[in-house]
A and B are shown apart, each in its own frame.
Chain A
Amino acid sequence: MEAGIVSYGAYVPRYRIAPEEIGKVWGVDGKSMGKGLMISSKSIPGPDEDTITIAVEAARSMMKRVDVDPQDIEAIYVGSESHPYAVKPSGTIVAEAIEASPDLTVADFEFACKAGTAAIQACMGLVGSGHIKYGVAIGADTSQGAPGDPLEYSASAGGAAFLIGSKKVIARIDGMYSYTTDTPDFWRREGQMYPSHGGRFTGEPAYFKHILSCAKGMFAKAGTSPKDYAHAVFHQPNGKFPTRVAKQLGFSDAQIKAGLLVPLIGNTYSGAVPLGLAAILDEAKPGDRVFAVAYGSGAGSDAFDITVTDEIKSFARDRAPTVKQVIENPKFLDYAHYAKFRGKINLGGG
């Protein structure tokens, strides 16, 4: 059965901090740090925001754009590495918020930065096999970076939601391919506030190896090459990595432009490829092919071969803000407020 994206919605918290402001506190040249990472600002969740509120905002925007009865949604999967609860699902709150409960299945996914694309795969399986009418896949995070750690310059917040179905599909998912190994480049154990990472080990043997292998596997499976695609989006922990990986695969800067959001909002982890894909769909035309490869530490990559359909012409995009509209009009914070918002200040006694 033909299946794919029926609608989508995006959300990024309004607050930002610049690398210069972070560097000032830690005695680091933040400007050149930002230049090296190709990040000029990163998003920060407000004190009343978390992965669930981000997921709800994105899902609500997604629902506004279609006239789908929420009761026809039979699965919701939320992918994140910052679910607010260790035990208690994020997805149930999303389900209630968009009035999809109780006749549905819900689960939270975790696979570092690619939990959101894993959710898309699960929905594609259920829709494609005819088990359900609609599934919702969400990738959202309020990612953590320890104070003073290089991660602090990139770890940000945001997310996107996708309605997966088989009717009025605006972007057909024609092929999926994944590449997974046990590669411990980045991890956070139960109870730890901040993740640990392998420094430069997170580059070549982790991000690059998995994305390149996965992309090549997808090309082989789909019988395509970079020139077949109008747009491409890769996981974007910083601006440098996706730009380099695109070049290595043979994509041009123009092909990755629409989906490259990290320079303005930082690394939204599970939200990164979903948000990039949403930004591409904001401007895609019928017939455009889109290539997407996510990466999650630990480690694995999910690739998607997507074709935008004629349905996008009648799709009510304007009923909810585009990614561009979501991220414009930011409010910049100083480090003190950033630390307060992110719970980095110990208030004593709780």
Chain B
Amino acid sequence: MTMRKVAVIGVGDTKFGELWDASFRDIGIRAGLSAVEDANITAEKIDAVFVGNMSAGRFIEQEHIGALIADYAGLARDHIPATRVEAAGASGGLALRQGYMAIASGLHDIVVVGGAEKMMDVSDVASAFIQSSAADQEWETELGATFPSLHALIARRHMHEHGTTREQLADVAVKNHRHGSMNPKAQFQKEITRDTVIGSLMVSSPLRMFDCAPSSDGAAAVVLCPLDQAKKYTDSAVEIAGTGQASDTLALHHRRDILAFDATRVAAERAFKMAGVAHKDIDVAEVHDNFTISEILAIEDLGFFKKGEGGKATEEGRTSLEGDVAVNTSGGLKARGDPIGATGLAQAVEIVTQLRGKAGKRQVKDASVGLTHNVGGTGATAVVHVFRRF
């Protein structure tokens, strides 16, 4: 059996941020409906739903997210399969991959993949504990490590080994806020300077508040169908040319090297091979910048820059809109926001929008191949997708 090729025929998302007036189900449905409308399909066409979500059980005390979303989307009477997918920060990217496989295998023809998280209904402290549960509870979190402190270890070591500077870390945030200022859906649409980052409150040395992605509410969704049927629905379909997923040790200290996320490298290799492209072919990439150091690691592990040179490349503007590869044109997790389960889908929405040439002020000129990179934990799960204009 050969696998079918898969296309994205619709995308939709909510604004990211503090959505006090909307519940989890509200935002999930809003994003899903706008994707369905964008795909020009009707609800009866939907064969299955996949939902990426990290921790609704702890954020809003609601489990059983798959059925919830199918129900409130008005699909309960159609009894369609609805599945929740969880891999911490990579939940959204992984849901997209499940949807991809469902289409590629021939099992389903129209699949809606959504991602949502409602994080603002708990206190800052509770949110930090929930997010830190993506790390190893027995070997890391219970011993006092938090998600920011684990990334701070990586940042400190990267600075020591490769001479990455405090200013270069700040440059990641400055760039992503600049990109976010051009994205009306972004949580933060204000430009910042190096001084904003370096003068912000300390979180875990050397990472300061502006080195960290925010907590956010938000949802995003895409509609998938077989590539050879895409033209029936839309003229602006985008092909998912490659998908790659990889895992690694859950705890950071069990890694071969804490300065490389091998899962990212392997997932990218798999996705590139499947798509028949190399890193140099990527015009635009949405990478997992939950901390400024994470983007530096990502652009190295994805092969855009040599290990140790990510900071310098960022400082030189090689990852900006006008650079060698435009990284996080949406503003990334840093400025667009990071509603955990929605993030992987929001990345896909941005890349599809870029490849359609509809990204407005932040449009990358002649973008034809794009990439999304979604990470769970401190690199224990990585999901990479390659998208191609069709």
Task: Give the distance in Å from the alpha carbon of A51 to the alpha carbon of B116 in the complex.
Answer: 47
Q: Within residues 167 to 215 of chain A, which ones have a CB less than 8 A from any CB in chain B?
A: 198-201, 204-205
Cβ contact within 8 Å between B201 and A199:
no
* Residues of chain B within 8 A of A204, CB atoms compared: 18, 20
Question: Looking across the interface, which residue of chain B has its beta carbon closest to that of A200?
Answer: B18
Contact with A along B1-28 (1 / 0, CB 8 A): 0000000000000000010110000000
Contact with A along B106-123 (1 / 0, CB 8 A): 000000000000001001
Cβ contact within 8 Å between B120 and A201:
yes
Contacting residue for A205 out of B21, B124, B202, CB 8 A = B21
* Residues of chain A within 8 A of B123, CB atoms compared: 198-199
Instruction: Answer yes or no: A32 CB below 8 A from chain B CBs.
Output: yes
- Given A205-B20, A205-B21, A200 and B202 touching (CB < 8 A)? no
For the complex formed, measure the closest distance between the CB of B189 and the CB atoms of chain A, giving whole angstroms: 16
* Residues of chain A within 8 A of B20, CB atoms compared: 201, 204-205
Question: Looking across the interface, which residue of chain B has its beta carbon closest to that of A203?
Answer: B18
Cβ contact within 8 Å between A29 and B201:
yes
Question: Looking across the interface, which residue of chain A has its beta carbon closest to that of B20?
Answer: A205
Task: Give the distance in Å from the alpha carbon of A204 to the alpha carbon of B18 in the complex.
Answer: 9
Classify chain B: how many residues form its interface, as a range. Answer: under 10
Task: Give the distance in Å from the alpha carbon of A29 to the alpha carbon of B201 in the complex.
Answer: 8
Task: Give the distance in Å from the alpha carbon of A231 to the alpha carbon of B120 in the complex.
Answer: 36
Classify chain A: how many residues form its interface, as a range. Answer: under 10
Task: Give the distance in Å from the alpha carbon of A204 to the alpha carbon of B201 in the complex.
Answer: 22
* Residues of chain A within 8 A of B202, CB atoms compared: 29
Contact with A along B187-202 (1 / 0, CB 8 A): 0000000000000011
Question: Looking across the interface, which residue of chain B has its beta carbon closest to that of A33?
Answer: B201
* Residues of chain B within 8 A of A201, CB atoms compared: 20, 120
Task: Give the distance in Å from the alpha carbon of A199 to the alpha carbon of B124 in the complex.
Answer: 7
Contact with B along A22-51 (1 / 0, CB 8 A): 000000010010000000000000000000
Task: Give the distance in Å from the alpha carbon of A199 to the alpha carbon of B18 in the complex.
Answer: 12
* Residues of chain B within 8 A of A205, CB atoms compared: 20-21
* Residues of chain B within 8 A of A29, CB atoms compared: 201-202
- Given A199-B123, A199-B124, A32 and B18 touching (CB < 8 A)? no
* Residues of chain B within 8 A of A198, CB atoms compared: 123
* Residues of chain A within 8 A of B201, CB atoms compared: 29, 32
Task: Give the distance in Å from the alpha carbon of A27 to the alpha carbon of B1 in the complex.
Answer: 62
Task: Give the distance in Å from the alpha carbon of A199 to the alpha carbon of B21 in the complex.
Answer: 16
Task: Give the distance in Å from the alpha carbon of A32 to the alpha carbon of B198 in the complex.
Answer: 13
Contact with B along A217-230 (1 / 0, CB 8 A): 00000000000000
Task: Give the distance in Å from the alpha carbon of A112 to the alpha carbon of B20 in the complex.
Answer: 21
* Residues of chain A within 8 A of B18, CB atoms compared: 200, 204
Task: Give the distance in Å from the alpha carbon of A37 to the alpha carbon of B124 in the complex.
Answer: 18
For the complex formed, measure the closest distance between the CB of B296 and the CB atoms of chain A, giving whole angstroms: 26
Contact with A along B298-318 (1 / 0, CB 8 A): 000000000000000000000
Task: Give the distance in Å from the alpha carbon of A198 to the alpha carbon of B127 in the complex.
Answer: 13
Task: Give the distance in Å from the alpha carbon of A205 to the alpha carbon of B201 in the complex.
Answer: 25
Question: Looking across the interface, which residue of chain A has its beta carbon closest to that of B126?
Answer: A199
For the complex formed, measure the closest distance between the CB of A341 and the CB atoms of chain B, giving whole angstroms: 27
For the complex formed, measure the closest distance between the CB of B258 and the CB atoms of chain A, giving whole angstroms: 26
* Residues of chain A within 8 A of B21, CB atoms compared: 205
* Residues of chain B within 8 A of A32, CB atoms compared: 201
Q: List 14 A-B contacts (CB under 8 A).
A: A29-B201, A29-B202, A32-B201, A198-B123, A199-B123, A199-B124, A200-B18, A200-B120, A201-B20, A201-B120, A204-B18, A204-B20, A205-B20, A205-B21
Nearest 3 pairs between A and B by C-beta?
A205-B20, A199-B123, A199-B124
Can you name 8 extra interface pairs (CB under 8 A) apart from A29-B201, A199-B123?
A29-B202, A199-B124, A200-B18, A200-B120, A201-B20, A201-B120, A204-B20, A205-B20
